[in-house]
Amino acid sequence: MNQKVNIHEITKAYLRIKKYTLLTPLLSSVIFNKEFNTNIFIKAENLQKIGAFKFRGAMNAVLQLDSSQNTVLAWSSGNHAQAIASAAYLTNKKAIIIMPEDSPKAKLDGTKSWGAKIVTYNRYKESREELGVKIANQENAVIIPPYDDYRVINGQGTVGYEMIIQCNELKVIPDLALCCCGGGGLIAGVSTALLSEYPDMPIYSVEPNYFNDTKLSLEKKEIVEIDITKKSICDALLAPKPGELTFSINKNNLSGGLQVSDDEVMYAMKLAFKYFKIVLEPGGAVALAAALFKKVDIKNKNVLIVASGGNVDKEVFQKSISI
């Protein structure tokens, strides 16, 4: 058992943040299941505050700061940015957020709305980590990383904790789980929670094509860094490599890694809206895309899917539903 990331710490995180977070639904569709010959249960974290699961980890981290730590700093393509900005606002702290200059407008605007100070950078030419450390030193700010932090991972693990409760209420025993993966914080927490209840259940990471660093790392059994000059619509999942902490957990917890194309993701967004009546951003739809396009066998199985976020620009969403 990891000393800092485990079901006991996830349970404590759940109790710590529950007055701030929403219990998001575990959605199912009889018609969808009939058409695709499966039983899918979608954890709709797009309905979480700030439109993504990231609020959980941010809240868990910020609530553990002491009263003298008044300024927090984070780097993010959008959802962790909004999460830290909102958590800081709700706890009367200041937030400085470093975001790529090409972040979706919905995420930039969402972060600004919480009163955070935004610093933009070129994701292809500059290091957000180096810039973040420099600014944190200047502003005496506490850095809260987007995924490689045990407080953040335990907070994200509350997604899995709730899924266990909801499966028990539905009297469903899941056969496998699919979860999106960028830096690996969400799936590290979710897999830790789920395996505490279902120790033999296969759990797979899902990433966009060309940003399959966790898949490659799992296959090589060591951290693999990828070329990030390629593009993907899944802006939330464009990590160059897994985190040290997240990979140390995921290499033990996961059965493997899957990958999906942008076209497959757009189709998943369309079907999520059609059958489940939810709006997903591209990165939030990759796990559903993996199921739809049979990247793993789902026939006649109870499949848990984490839909991680719904912060999508309207033009992208309109394009997806018009496919």
Kindly tell me the burial class for residue 294, based on how many C-beta atoms sit within 10 Å of its own C-beta (0-12, 13-18, 19 or more).
exposed
CB 258 within 8 A of CB 290: yes
Question: Would strands 39-44 and 26-27 be described as parallel, antiparallel, or unpaired?
Answer: antiparallel
d(CA 94, CA 155): 21
Tokens representing residue 302 in the block: 């109870």
Greatest extent of the chain over all pairs of C-alpha atoms, in Å = 57
Tokens representing residue 39 in the block: 């039983």
- For 205, the enclosing helix (H) or strand (E) is strand 203-208
The DSSP annotation for 56-111 comes to HHHHHHHTTS-TT--EEEEE-SSHHHHHHHHHHHHTT-EEEEEEETT--HHHHHHH
d(CA 235, CA 21): 24
- For 35, the enclosing helix (H) or strand (E) is helix 30-36
Kindly tell me the burial class for residue 18, based on how many C-beta atoms sit within 10 Å of its own C-beta (0-12, 13-18, 19 or more).
middle
Q: Which of 29, 77, 191, 196 is catalytic?
A: 77
Q: Which of 49, 54, 93, 270 is catalytic?
A: 54
d(CA 27, CA 40): 8
CB 205 within 8 A of CB 184: yes
Helix (H, G, I), strand (E, B) or coil at 224: coil
Whether 217 is a known active-site residue: answer no
- For 266, the enclosing helix (H) or strand (E) is helix 262-276
Whether 4 is a known active-site residue: answer no
Please list the active-site residues.
54, 77
